[in-house]
């Protein structure tokens, strides 16, 4: 049976959501983050990098969210949650599927890093680290993040979903950047269409079922 090696409060939540949307049977092997929020070493027995998400299925071990989504759609989708080939929507689907991790997450990760650095610095160094972090956030990270959020807002003004007017797996992939931006990027300020997107996905029954099975999920908090 298909197995999701699920790290709590992680990107693997998207994999559970996709499987619930597709109605594919699966089992969950659970892993708990360590106190420093890193994945436990047991995940390295599944994949050398010890990262999540990762799935095993029919002798295959597949990591990386985009690759997992492509595999599940190709293997179990039967044409669902993906636009038809050779259409503008299919091209947009492919773009957003890879943009989510390739471009969107970079400023969000930097935002998290520079926000946490002062809190975790030694007390004597904390004022200096806070000054450097604030400068990086003001000059580099926050402007980049705003550019991405404005971009999402504009694209969601053209169509209801990222690939077009039909919900697809690209929206599942894009959920994590938007949820992270809501948690720590100020998405709620001036981005009503992006916020409406989050309301729509959170209202989906499959999203709720995935949360029940995956456990507590709080991006960026």
User: What value does the mean pLDDT of the chain take?
Assistant: 93
> Do 88-204 and 3-82+208-214 fall under one CATH topology?
no
Question: What are the tens digits of pLDDT across the range 147-196?
Answer: 999 999 999 999 999 999 999 999 999 999 999 999 999 999 999 999 99
- Region 195-199: mean pLDDT is 98
Question: What are the tens digits of pLDDT across the range 104-142?
Answer: 999 999 999 899 899 989 988 888 989 999 999 999 999
At residue 41, the pLDDT reads 86
Query: For residues 70 and 18, what is the distance between their CA atoms, to the nearest angstrom?
Result: 11
At residue 221, the pLDDT reads 39
- Helix, strand or coil, per DSSP, at residue 189: coil
Phi, psi of 188 (to 5 degrees): -70, -10
Query: For residues 34 and 19, what is the distance between their CA atoms, to the nearest angstrom?
Result: 26
Domain boundaries, the chain: 3-82+208-214, 88-204
Q: How far apart are the first and last CA of the chain?
A: 33
At residue 32, the pLDDT reads 84
At residue 218, the pLDDT reads 73
Question: What are the tens digits of pLDDT across the range 70-96?
Answer: 999 999 999 999 999 999 999 999 999
At residue 220, the pLDDT reads 44
At residue 7, the pLDDT reads 87
At residue 215, the pLDDT reads 84
Domain topology for 88-204: Glutathione S-transferase Yfyf (Class Pi); Chain A, domain 2 (1.20.1050)
Q: Which residues contact 89 (CB under 8 A, 6 or more apart)?
A: 83, 163, 164, 166, 168
Domain topology for 3-82+208-214: Glutaredoxin (3.40.30)
Select from 97, 91, 95, 89 the least CA-distant residue to 166: 89
**Longest Cα–Cα distance in the chain:** 59
Is the full-model pTM beyond 0.85? yes
């Amino acid at each position: 049976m298909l197995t999701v090696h699920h790290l709590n409060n992680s990107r693997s939540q998207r994999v559970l959501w996709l499987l619930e949307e597709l109605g594919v049977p699966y089992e969950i092997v659970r892993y708990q983050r360590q106190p420093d929020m890193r994945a436990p070493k047991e995940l390295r027995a599944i994949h050398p990098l010890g990262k999540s998400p990762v799935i095993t299925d029919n002798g295959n071990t597949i990591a990386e969210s985009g690759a997992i989504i492509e595999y599940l759609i190709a293997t179990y989708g039967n044409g669902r949650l993906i636009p038809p080939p050779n259409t503008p929507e299919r091209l947009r689907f492919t773009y957003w599927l890879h943009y989510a991790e390739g471009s969107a997450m970079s400023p969000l990760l930097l935002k998290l890093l520079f926000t946490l650095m002062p809190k975790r610095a030694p007390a004597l160094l904390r004022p200096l680290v806070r000054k450097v972090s604030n400068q990086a956030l003001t000059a580099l990270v926050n402007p980049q993040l705003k550019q991405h959020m404005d971009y999402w807002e504009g694209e969601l003004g053209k169509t209801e979903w990222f690939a077009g007017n039909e919900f697809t797996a690209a929206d599942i992939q894009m959920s994590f950047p938007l949820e992270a931006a809501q948690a720590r990027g100020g998405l709620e300020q001036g981005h009503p269409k992006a916020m409406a997107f989050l309301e729509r996905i959170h209202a989906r029954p499959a999203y709720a079922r995935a949360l029940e099975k995956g456990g507590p999920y709080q991006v960026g908090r």
